[in-house]
């Protein structure tokens, strides 16, 4: 089945609305589908969130061709680089996937199933002896699962070797995030918590800092076991170049910076229940969210005033953007109880 309809390029709206629209025009309101499109390189790419939906709309030139698959029949392997050039007929591929089962593809899960996971980060900017670990609690039921204690460590200072107090990992809870990811080990020395040095802070202070950041905890440690360190190709490579003085805590680059802060902002939205209704995320008030979002909005607007509506449009989509409440922006995945009752799309 093929459908053609138009979208307002300047106000593409939300993915959810778009998805509803697709279900509506295909008259499949209760069927889960995968949505894909071909980008300018001919790759078949998924549309499953606001970002790639906006990207798809903005790169449509002039036509946005969209493929819809029933979710249970979906061939995930179809997505990816070179999909369109490799397989001339995607549709046949989609409809008769068995023909192409000769070579097993590496199955990559859908981006919608992606979530940030715990990992070692900033390897390129940290001294080799240090390790920066992100424990991503979000979306798992696992406890963080570790304990910290006071201790002392030997530091190289201008006055020679000195014993200084430090904070150490004292215990891992079996099955906890720390233990199961293997990112932290007993006796690792904690140097920073979310970019803030712990030297001079008490055990209780560091505990409170970690708990306050528990939803996205980034700990810089000096692992007790220094044998598993990342070995760089040459000492001069990498952006830090500080490996020679790595034992100095002061040399720890404090470049956690804005990226982390920014990420952190988005992951911790409070929830409001109005008039005993359903819980919703509390959005940011307009002035503070100006920075990137509004900027891209302006660009889009600019583009659309040049192009007007997409020429290929057959149906006009009256998008009542005004009625769309900010509160439904970026719903938390996993928070299934969220309902979207404020969205109104008229055709």
Partner 1 sequence: MRRFLRPGHDPVRERLKRDLFQFNKTVEHGFPHQPSALGYSPFLRLMAIGTRSGAIKLYGAPGVEFMGLHEENNTVMQIHFIPDQCQLVTLLDDNSLHLWSLKQQGGASELREEHRFTLKGPPGSPPSATQVTAVLPHSSREVLYLGTESGSIFVVELPSFRVLEDRTITPEAVLQRMPEDNCNRRSCELVEALREHPKNPDQILIGYSRGLIVLWDLQNNKATHHFLGSQQLENLYWQRDGSKFISCHYDGSYTQWPVSSDNRQPEPLENTVPYGPFPCKAISKIYWQTTKNGLPYIIFQGGMPRASYGDRHSISVIHGSQQTAFDFTSRVIDFFIIFTSDPAAEFDDPSALVVLAEEELVVIDLKSAGWPAVHPPYLASLHCSAITCSHHVSNIPLKLWERIISAGSKQNVHYSSMPWPIDGGTNIAPDPPQRDLLLTGHEDGTVRFWDASGVCLHLLYKLSTVRVFLTDADPNDNMNTLGEDEWPPLRKVGTFDPYSDDPRLGIQKIYLCKYSGYLAVAGTAGQVLVMELNDEDAEHVVDHAEADLLQDQEGYRWKGHEKLKTRDGPVQFEAGFQPFVLVQCQPPAVVTSLALHSEWKLVAFGTSHGFGLFDHQQKQLVFVKCTLHPSDQLALEGPLSRVKSLKKSLRQSFRRIRRSRVSSRKRRGGGGNASEVQEANAKFDQDALQEMELAPVQRKIEARSAEDSFTGFVRTLYFADTFLRDSSRHCPSLWAGTNGGTVYAFCLRVPPAERRMDEPVRAEQAKEIQLMHRAPVVGILVLDGRSTPLPEPLEVAHDLSKSPDMQGSHQLLVVSEEQFKVFTLPKVSSKLKLKLTALEGCRVRKVTVANFGSCKTDDYSENDLAVLTNLGDIQIISLPFLKLQIRYPCIRKEDVSGIASCVFTKYGQGFYLISPSEFERFSLSTKWLVEPRCIVDMPEVTSNNHVHNRPGTENAARKS
Distance between CA atoms of residues 37 and 78, nearest Å: 11
Cβ atoms of 218 and 212 within 8 Å: the answer is no
The neighbouring-strand residues paired with 113 are none
Interaction with partner 1 in 176-205: which residues (CB under 8 A)? 194, 196, 201-205
User: Which range touches partner 1 (CB under 8 A), out of 70-78, 226-234, 236-244, 261-269?
Assistant: 261-269
The binder of partner 1 chosen from 110, 117, 272, 315 (CB under 8 A): 272
| CB-nearer residue toward partner 1: 48 or 181 | 181
Cα end-to-end span (Å), the chain? 20
Q: How do beta strands 146-157 and 160-172 pair?
A: antiparallel
Interaction with partner 1 in 309-328: which residues (CB under 8 A)? 326-327
Cβ atoms of 206 and 199 within 8 Å: the answer is no
Report CA dihedral (312, 316, 321, 325) to the nearest 10 degrees.
Answer: -100
- Residue 271 contacts partner 1 per CB under 8 A: yes
The binder of partner 1 chosen from 13, 36, 46, 145 (CB under 8 A): 145
The binder of partner 1 chosen from 154, 211, 295, 347 (CB under 8 A): 211
Could you give the count of Cα atoms lying within 13 Å of 59 in the half-sphere of its Cβ?
Answer: 17
The binder of partner 1 chosen from 64, 68, 191, 209 (CB under 8 A): 209
Token digits for 208? 């409170």
Interaction with partner 1 in 4-23: which residues (CB under 8 A)? none
| CB-nearer residue toward partner 1: 149 or 155 | 149
DSSP designation for 294: I
User: Which range touches partner 1 (CB under 8 A), out of 25-33, 95-103, 284-292, 303-311?
Assistant: 284-292
- Give the interface with partner 1 as residue ranges (CB under 8 A): 137, 143-150, 170-171, 194, 196, 201-215, 217, 258, 261, 268-276, 279, 282-288, 326-327
């Amino acid at each position: 089945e093929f459908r053609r309809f138009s979208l307002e390029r300047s106000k593409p709206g939300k993915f959810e609305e778009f998805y509803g629209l697709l279900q509506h025009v295909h008259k499949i309101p209760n069927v889960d589908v995968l949505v894909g499109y071909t980008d300018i390189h001919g790759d078949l790419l998924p549309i499953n969130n606001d970002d790639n939906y906006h990207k798809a709309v903005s790169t449509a030139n002039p036509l946005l061709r969209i493929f819809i698959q029933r979710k249970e029949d979906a061939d995930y392997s179809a997505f990816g680089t070179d999909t369109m050039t490799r397989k001339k007929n995607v549709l046949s591929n989609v409809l008769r996937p068995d023909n192409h089962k000769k070579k097993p593809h590496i199955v990559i899960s859908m981006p919608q199933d992606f979530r940030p996971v715990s990992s070692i980060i900033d390897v390129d900017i940290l001294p080799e002896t240090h390790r920066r670990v992100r424990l991503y609690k979000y979306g798992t039921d696992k406890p963080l699962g570790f304990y910290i204690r006071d201790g002392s460590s030997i530091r190289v200072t201008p006055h020679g070797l000195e014993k200084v107090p430090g904070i150490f990992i004292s215990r891992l809870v079996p099955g906890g995030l720390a233990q199961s990811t293997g990112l932290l080990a007993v006796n690792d020395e904690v140097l920073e918590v979310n970019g803030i040095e712990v030297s001079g802070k008490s055990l209780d202070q560091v505990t409170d800092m970690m708990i306050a950041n528990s939803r996205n905890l980034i700990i810089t440690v000096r692992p007790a076991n220094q044998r598993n360190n990342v070995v760089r190709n040459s000492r001069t490579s990498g952006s830090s170049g500080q490996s020679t003085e790595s034992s100095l805590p002061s040399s720890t680059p404090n470049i956690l910076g804005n990226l982390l802060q920014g990420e952190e902002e988005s992951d911790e939205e409070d929830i409001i229940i109005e008039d005993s209704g359903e819980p919703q995320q509390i959005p940011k008030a307009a002035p503070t969210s100006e920075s990137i979002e509004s900027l891209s909005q302006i660009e889009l607007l600019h583009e659309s005033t040049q192009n007007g509506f997409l020429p290929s449009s057959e149906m006009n989509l009256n998008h009542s953007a005004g009625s769309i409440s900010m509160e439904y922006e970026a719903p938390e995945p996993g928070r299934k109880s969220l309902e979207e009752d404020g969205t109104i799309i008229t055709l």
